[in-house]
Structure 1
Amino acid sequence: MTREQALELLQQHLKNRNLVKHCLAVEACMKDFALHFGQDPEPWALAGLLHDLDYEYTVEKPAEHTEKTAEMLADHALPEEIIHAIKSHNMRVEPSSKMDISLLTIDPASGFIIACALMHPEKKLQSLDLLFLKKRFKEKSFAKGASRQQMQGCAKLAITLDEFLQLCLGAMQKISTELGL
């Protein structure tokens, strides 16, 4: 599956534009993480782009989230590593690879970084830096839906929280125009 085919599939199944932007942000982060770890960025990026493909169908049935995505992608002959990573971000299967753990940790981080941008006076990703992110990370009431514990799972990737946040921010800044931030 090409990126263009994946994007078309995503736009076909997700009507909420902000959810599509979230998937684009996760895709960008996954691509940069793959490069950081010396891996092929294409499957990592596809896992990031497609990870919430079923979200609008399963929002009321969170236990089915990612299972429906796996069903939806069954006819597309994607490598098992992509399907496994997608399932692991909802803990449907145990995360076991760097791709799995990266997706699991990046998913909440992308939302957290977008929330940081939206509350920043300039409302731009380019205006954010690591210090700003770290201050907000410590505020338990800020972006409560972004699991700090899940993001701290980056330790399983042998990178610090600072490195993790910087990698995510840098990836998202590269596509800030696409994200409208």
Structure 2
Amino acid sequence: MSREEAFNKLTIYVKNNNLIKHMIATEAIMRALARKFGEDEEKWGITGLLHDIDYEVTEKEPEKHSLLAEEILKDVSLPSDIIDAIKAHNEIHGLPRETLLAKSLYAVDPLTGLIVAAALIHPEKKLAPLDTNFILNRFKEKSFARGVNREQIKSCEEIGLSLEEFISLGLEAMKAVSNDLNL
């Protein structure tokens, strides 16, 4: 599946512009991680892009989120490790995250929200002026972006990255697609 095919598929199921931006941000960070780890950038990017394809449909039934994604994506013959990573990113299922791909997606998912929230409180409301320390300081503020699962972000250590390194990589990846994110 090409990136274009994946994007076209997700627009069938996802209409919320902010959710699409989240998926694009996740894709960007996953691609950056793939480059860092010497993995298949296209594969990792598609995993990030499609990870929430069923979110709007399952929003009121979180126990179905990511399982429906498997059904939606079964006709496109994606590798099983992509499907496994997508299913395991929803911790409600308690599925093991055994691969680097699955562990990475799990850690990246909430990072995008933290970075967007930090951009929105900055006077310029853009990613460009942000630096890693600004994000790290917001990360430490319990009252900031309460919905962001900090433990999930800290699971970046399972993929061999410090929190600072992970946030830096994520911020730079999102800056690279800032036009798509309107940030």
TM-score by length of 2: 0.97
In the alignment, structure 1 residue 84 sits paired with structure 2 residue 84: yes
Q: CA deviation at 1:96?
A: 0.7
Match of 2:161 in 1: 159
Which residue is equivalent to 1:27?
27
Which amino acid letter does the alignment assign opposite residue 99 of structure 2? S
| Separation of aligned partners in 2, 1:128 and 1:12 | 33
Could you tell me how far 1:102 is from its partner in structure 2? Answer: 0.7
Given the alignment, which residue of 167, 174, 177 partners 1:175?
Answer: 177
User: How far apart, CA to CA, are the structure 1 residues paired with 2:34 and 2:146?
Assistant: 28
SS in structure 1 at match of 2:128: helix
Inter-partner Cα distance in structure 1 for 2:157 and 2:7:
31
- 1:53 corresponds to 2:42: no
Moved over 6 A (4+): none
Letter in 2 for 1:101: K
Identity of aligned residues (%): 46
- State the alpha-carbon separation in 2 of the partners of residues 9 and 158 from structure 1: 32
Aligned AA (2:40)? D
Alignment of 1:42-121 (within 5 A): 42-91=42-91, 92=93, 93-121=95-123
1:10 Cα deviation from its structure 2 partner: 1.0
Distance 1:98 1:120 in 2: 33
User: Which consecutive unaligned segments of at least 5 residues does structure 2 have?
Assistant: none
Indicate which of 142, 146, 149 corresponds to 1:147: 149
Partner Cα separation in structure 2 for residue 141 and residue 6 of structure 1:
36
Q: Distance in 2 between matches of 1:124 and 1:72?
A: 34
Whole-Å Cα distance in 2 between the matches of residues 178 and 159 of structure 1? 26
> CA–CA distance in 2 between the matches of 1:73 and 1:162?
34
Equivalents in 1 of 2:133, 2:84: separation in Å? 34
